[in-house]
Structure 1
Amino acid sequence: MNKSRLEAFTDAMIAIAATIMVLELHSPDGVKLSNLLSEWHVLFAYIVSFFLIYLFWFSHHNTFKNAETISNKVFLLNGIWLFLLTLVPFTTSWISEKPNATLPMITYLLLQILWVESFFVLNKQVCRDNPDMENTLPRTNKWVKNFYGCFALAFIFAFFIPIVSLVIVGLVNINSFRGILSVKNG
């Protein structure tokens, strides 16, 4: 598989997913600030999901920038990761429409975990296929504890105050951005 074609296709899919999400945003019913503020949860869900997509686009670039070999396994794992990515606009829209409902939030959280895990599997395979390449996404015990601890907390809140789960995911994003931005960019 040609690396540049895989990266170009991935970039296009990421751009399409982000575009679909923004198309789900609708203008408020009125022209007062209160009309805009009454829809804060819709905008917040978009912001959290957009930055998660952006974070993974950046991470994908860092994973593939020094890879020489793109195996069939990487091609297939990238496809699985992209499939999960294409579900992000759907779940984001669902939690935007039903911010106080448990099932949409649980679905959103499960998708996020599957998407993150599929990226780690993809990253690991790229590193396995390119043993001389530095792993730009080390998975430390501290990161795993923080990530899964926050998501466990988000799952609990999803049953009582679902919108708080989205706030927790937003905080996880901020923490992840701090770590990812410390990675050398090429």
Structure 2
Amino acid sequence: MGKNRLEAFSDGVIAIIITIMVIEMRVPHGEDLAALLPVLPVFLSYVLSFIYVGIYWNNHHNMLQASGKITGGILWANLHLLFWLSLFPFVTSWMGENHYATVPTQLYGVVLFMAAMAYFILQQRIIAAGATTLRRAVGRDWKGKISPVLYLIGIISSQWSPAVGKLLYLGVAFIWLIPDRRIENLLMDSKE
């Protein structure tokens, strides 16, 4: 299988994930701005998850551009990542509907943690298949190493303060929003 087919499949699944997340948001009852207050936690959860899905989509694209051949291990690792991403609509809705209660916030963190682990496994499978450009670009990968630690701290701290967990999840998203040009730059250099 070529990487274009894998990328197209993944793009389709990610588009469906975003669609499901937005469909889960309910229209408020009422016509004034005060009617929006009860749905604000759901909307904010959606925004955070949309950012996360966008980060994964962007980095997934860059990572596949750096890959050479697609192996069976890469296919399974990609499905593993898509599985965890497919849980975003559920945990997003549950956390928002319950106004960031302890267990939904913790489960949201578990899904974030597992998606990060699945992404790491996919990255390692691609590197093992001979993607030397990706191996060089990843380097020490401080973002990839600190993110799961922050997710775990967020999951644990949510036991006492879901707000702290939510802030940690938001903090990781901001870390990843800062563009990481390592892969793009190496790909551009290799094409010249």
TM-score (norm 1): 0.88
Structure 1 residue 149: deviation in Å?
4.7
Correspondence for 2:92: 92
User: Per the alignment, do residues 182 and 63 of structure 1 end up closer, same or farther by CA in structure 2, a change over 3 Å counting?
Assistant: closer
2 CA distance for matches of 1:46 and 1:85? 14
Structure 1 residue 182: deviation in Å?
6.6
Compute the RMSD of aligned alpha carbons. Answer: 2.1
Number of aligned residue pairs: give it: 185
The aligned amino acid for 2:145 is V
Runs of 5+ in structure 2 lacking a partner? 188-192
User: Per the alignment, do residues 152 and 80 of structure 1 end up closer, same or farther by CA in structure 2, a change over 3 Å counting?
Assistant: closer
User: 1:107 and 2:103 equivalent?
Assistant: no
User: Per the alignment, do residues 143 and 179 of structure 1 end up closer, same or farther by CA in structure 2, a change over 3 Å counting?
Assistant: farther
Correspondence for 2:190: none
% of aligned pairs identical?
29
CA contact 1:81–1:119 (8 Å) conserved in 2: yes
CA contact 1:105–1:158 (8 Å) conserved in 2: yes
1 CA distance for matches of 2:143 and 2:26? 39
Runs of 5+ in structure 1 lacking a partner? none
Correspondence for 2:50: 50
Correspondence for 1:14: 14
CA contact 1:63–1:137 (8 Å) conserved in 2: no
CA deviation vs aligned residue, 1:120-146 (integer Å, no higher than 9, x gap): 11011111212432334445357624x
Matches within 5 A, 1:130-145: 130-135=130-135, 136-141=137-142, 144-145=145-146
1 CA distance for matches of 2:83 and 2:143? 28
Correspondence for 1:64: 64
User: Per the alignment, do residues 132 and 161 of structure 1 end up closer, same or farther by CA in structure 2, a change over 3 Å counting?
Assistant: closer
